[in-house]
């Protein structure tokens, strides 16, 4: 499993992976963040610094040891040594300064709701879970603010820059049902993607993908030894230099649609990682979207991928339901400015 960069010193990545499921969000003081990190079975007996290096990644052992000395403790407050052995199920507490968070959209519309589910219209730019850059400005945090008495669970994930339909369970039984439905591929998803160039009218991209050994530790890519990944697509509108496609992923791999469309030579407009490449992506992380970089990313601040339609079996009625999100105004305006196809 890709590990979240949850410690200071990690380069800020817009696509940084979320905090893993066994790193639970804790309480937060005005200037500090507290996280609980549980040792999985496969790390039983490891040294603490080796375990944290695996969990955090991308930091030097010297930096890891400094973090252990200043930010890591046992739940009762006792400090631990870098060489201390860890045991399966053991919990460590990490207390770190709260990051200065970039502004993000903090409002979302509800497309459908009942006692079991919420279908939200997630805005582009709103991250779902805690990352190195975001703590309070996340969908999870906003759900807690808007529904403080409910223990909601997000049923699936979409990237920070992707907008559109997102399904949230309002209780554990609904969450279990929906996550099983996603795992069994009984949920149908259709995305709208604006891509560069002129792809075929339709097609099926059957291409295994996996996490690549790359500088960002974020980039997925085609690989014979990757996980099976299949995306169907069809062109719904053409322009002089671009095409709008409907993409339907039959599997749910990380960044799947973005990787697949880029792999056939038609990256998504505005995609910093798979359209611009890692050097430009890292510059955008370090420098922000300068006019030069914005031009390199097709003059679109976010990638042009929108979760348009989701069909799922309802947890109570067991009947299929379809929820749609219209294309958001930023993409509508961008498309309106494109030269028509000749």
Q: Any idea what the Cα angle at residue 308 is, between residues 19 and 212, rounded to 5°?
A: 40
Catalytic residues: 159
């Amino acid at each position: 499993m890709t590990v979240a960069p949850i410690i200071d010193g990690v380069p800020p990545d817009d696509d940084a992976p979320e905090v893993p499921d066994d790193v639970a969000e804790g309480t937060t003081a005005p200037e500090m963040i507290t996280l609980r990190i549980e040792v999985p079975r496969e790390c039983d007996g490891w040294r603490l610094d080796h375990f944290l290096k695996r969990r955090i990644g991308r930091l030097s052992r010297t930096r890891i040891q400094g973090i252990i000395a200043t930010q890591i403790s046992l739940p009762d407050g006792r400090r631990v040594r870098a060489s201390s052995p860890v045991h399966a199920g053991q919990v460590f507490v990490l207390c770190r300064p709260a990051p200065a968070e970039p502004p993000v959209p903090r409002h979302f519309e509800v497309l459908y709701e009942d006692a079991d589910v919420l279908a939200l219209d997630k805005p582009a730019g709103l991250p779902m879970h805690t990352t190195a850059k975001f703590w309070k400005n996340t969908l999870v945090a906003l759900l807690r603010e808007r529904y403080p008495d409910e223990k909601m669970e997000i049923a699936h994930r979409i990237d920070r820059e992707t907008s559109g339909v997102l399904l949230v369970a309002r209780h554990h039984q609904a969450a279990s049902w929906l996550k099983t439905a996603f795992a069994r591929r009984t949920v149908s998803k259709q995305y709208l993607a604006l891509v560069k160039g002129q792809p075929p009218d339709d097609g099926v991209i059957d291409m295994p993908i996996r996490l690549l050994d790359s500088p960002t530790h974020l980039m997925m890519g085609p690989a014979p030894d990757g996980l099976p990944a299949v995306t169907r697509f069809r062109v719904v509108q053409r322009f002089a230099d671009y095409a709008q496609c409907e993409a339907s992923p039959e599997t749910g791999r990380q960044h799947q649609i973005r990787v697949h469309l880029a792999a056939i030579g038609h990256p998504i407009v505005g995609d910093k990682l798979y359209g611009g490449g890692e050097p430009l992506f890292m510059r955008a992380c370090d420098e922000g979207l300068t006019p030069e970089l914005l031009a390199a990313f097709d003059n679109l601040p976010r990638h042009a991928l929108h979760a348009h339609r989701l069909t799922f079996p309802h947890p109570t009625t067991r009947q299929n339901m379809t929820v749609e999100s219209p294309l958001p105004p930023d993409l509508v305006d961008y498309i309106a400015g494109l030269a028509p196809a000749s």
